[in-house]
Structure 1
Amino acid sequence: MASDAVVLSVPGPEGDREVRVSSPSRVLWPDLGITKLDLANYFVAVGDAFIRANGGRPVSLQRFPEGVDGEQFFSKNPPRGAPAYVRAVDVTYPSRRVHPQLVLDEPAAAVWGVQMNTVVFHPWASRADEPDLPDELRIDLDPQPGTDFPDVVAAALALRDLLVEYGFTPFVKTSGNRGVHVFAPIRPEYEFLDVRHGVIALARELERRIPEKVTTAWWKEERGSRIFIDYNQANRDRTMAGAYSPRALARASVSTPVTWDELVTVDPAVHTVLTLPARLRTTGDPWEGLHEGEAPSIRPLLDRWEADLEAGLGELPFPPDFPKMPGEPPRVQPSRAKAK
């Protein structure tokens, strides 16, 4: 029986590569009828911008063998049979375990990821050559019940102004869902815990300025109708959907880089696997210059962190799967703690 596999020619830095896509008619997004081959062609179209934003970094693959409505799992290390142009780098996880993690260096590697039924790509904030030293400050603005997208946009604009005050050059993208991700290039000189503390310092300063709009409260019962600044996304091995990565949502939305002017009017639902290639052709990549020039240090943010410590503000909770960290408050919901 003849195979129904399709071979795609994928341009890249070493010339065209032939990437085999099996089961090309497998439907990944049932509501829209988007197939595995459609997704592979999407990455051929946006491959340069995708690799520019996510390449050369440890990355986790969120895989959906039965489509976005089916079971899913994460791959971190290269599976058997990975092509020679897909590499790995040893990284250290919060448990201190060291393990190889995938690295994508060219568009063909992203298309191969689709062949492995990957829908969402989760890159680290550090590069493969210095996996312990993030070169991106990443802030996840997470809307809470009672808030909507304009509330997130308002918080993102205030955060942009604060970052500029500290000497950073901020970039922004939609999460592909209801949130917004703000990135800024930083000098890769501090490890993840330090960068997390820098993000907390930044978040607390924003909270002081607009306390009615944003919160650093880890426990949902304390957040109210405010935008949560998810500082724990700055932790080691904590990732978010990469720029130009699809999301496993019914509308096949994409985490889309936009300009700050666009953010005010953007409708995140408009940017999907079906529409993004045309957008890139007509408007270009707003993140093309993300890592041009010399990036600043986060030292001013760490000075702010230390000043907050002296003022009595301590460590904040870590995710539940992390080992207990020095200075961390008890991992117990405040209402339960009071009940005791």
Structure 2
Amino acid sequence: MARATTPAVELEVRGRTVRVTSPDRVVFAERGLTKLDVVQYFLSVGDGILGALRDRPTTLERWPKGVFEGARLATRADSSGDAFYQKRVPQGAPDYVRTATIGFPSGRTADEVCPSELAVVAWAANLGTITFHPWPVRSADVDSPDQLRIDLDPQPGTDFSDAARVAPEVRALLHELGMEGWPKTSGGRGLHIFVPIEPRWTFTQARRATIALGREIERRMPEQVTMKWWKEERGRKIFVDYNQMARDRTIASAYSVRANPRATVSAPLRWDEVGEVRPDDFDVTTVPARFAEVGDLFAPLVAGAGAAYSIEPLLELADRDERDHGQADLPYPPEYPKMPGEPTRVQPSRARRAPDPIE
């Protein structure tokens, strides 16, 4: 006998009615968390998730079948996964869902969801969205980043605790340059540091600034940090993933849920917590109470809420790297067109051996 369908639930979300269909559909089987649980989680951290997304073109990471053992996220090479990234606004979106037109490295464009109110978050969660990936720009100028996003990515043999040891050195460098950063867990093994910047530079310049920052951290912590793009060269270190500042590369927002059995959350941190916490401390069941206690620790990143820094000191550092150390650009991701000044984009172990000279 077919299972009876649970009636939809209607939620009032700050003056909007949002319909949650199949509210008892299990999204996180290990935790027994349903779609309604996920929607209500986002509402419980409403000011935080909206602050992270407001007026930003946002890619939706949708898991309509839930997160279960063996579930896969579709990729460019294999579109047969159980979950997918939605870059274009879904058909049938309510009229209150605003969009922004963004351009990809290929030259194509898309109208992407640009959240302006909490009902949009709830509507997206009803579609199976658990992770929101906002661009580091706002709709008024989609070509000028207003955040540097520093991704401390643990490589095999390292973990969150290793990234947490690197993060204070990043903060110290930022302070030397007259800047401040705000840390958060990635929801996985990594750690992110967001820096609000003046929106008057291009993606290319913001990426170059991030490369300069990463190289300086690598010089200060050579045994712990790497800027090597190719995985085979990184070793057991923390990779500063500079390509997260390339156009069309995004990082999970603060308060997003991650696709793992524990339903962990990308949680903003106080700096004095960075070395004390673990990613599993923050999940759909624990973050609402934390949010009620400490508020939105990423509130200073909301436009107009605090300082916005110049990246000129980092661009000057990049100039010195090139002039004094011969360090120019680094490889872009493989799907990007060849960029001006970019070095050879060939994995070292696959690079052809130069032919022997003819004697």
Q: Which moved more, 1:329-338 or 1:81-90?
A: 329-338
Task: Verify the 8 A CA contact 2:47 2:296 in the aligned structure 1.
Answer: no
State the Cα RMSD in Å. 1.4
Q: Which moved more, 1:60-69 or 1:171-180?
A: 60-69
Shift, 1:309, TM fit: 1.7
Deviation per residue, 1:13-42 (Å, 9 max, x gap): xxx211000011111111111110000111
Q: Which consecutive residues of structure 1, in runs of 5 or more, have no partner in the other structure?
A: none
How many Å separate the matches in 2 of 1:43 and 1:136?
Answer: 23
How many Å separate the matches in 2 of 1:81 and 1:22?
Answer: 15
The residue correspondences of 1:326-337 to structure 2 (distance < 5 A) are 326-337=340-351
Aligned: 1:317 with 2:331: yes
4, 9, 31: which one pairs with 1:6?
Answer: 9
How many Å separate the matches in 2 of 1:81 and 1:260?
Answer: 42
Aligned: 1:180 with 2:180: no
Q: Which consecutive residues of structure 2, in runs of 5 or more, have no partner in the other structure?
A: 72-81, 355-359
Letter in 1 for 2:225: V
81, 85, 92: which one pairs with 2:103?
Answer: 92
Deviation per residue, 1:224-280 (Å, 9 max, x gap): 111000000001110011000000011000000010001110121011011111111
Task: Verify the 8 A CA contact 1:47 1:106 in the aligned structure 2.
Answer: no
Shift, 1:189, TM fit: 0.3
Q: Which residue of 2 aligns with 1:297?
A: 310
90, 93, 100: which one pairs with 1:82?
Answer: 93
Q: Which residue of 1 aligns with 2:151?
A: 140
How many Å separate the matches in 2 of 1:126 and 1:254?
Answer: 22
Q: Which moved more, 1:209-218 or 1:281-290?
A: 281-290
Structure 1 runs of 4+ aligned residues shifted over 6 Å read: none
Shift, 1:338, TM fit: 6.1
Aligned: 1:237 with 2:248: yes
Q: Which residue of 1 aligns with 2:171?
A: 160
Task: Verify the 8 A CA contact 2:5 2:22 in the aligned structure 1.
Answer: no
**TM-score, normalised with respect to structure 2:** 0.91
How many Å separate the matches in 1 of 2:104 and 2:190?
Answer: 26
How many Å separate the matches in 1 of 2:283 and 2:254?
Answer: 12
Letter in 2 for 1:302: L
What secondary structure is seen at the aligned counterpart in 1 of 2:337?
A: coil
Percent identity reads: 50
Q: Which moved more, 1:160-169 or 1:173-182?
A: 160-169
Letter in 1 for 2:314: L
Aligned: 1:43 with 2:46: no
What secondary structure is seen at the aligned counterpart in 2 of 1:61?
A: strand
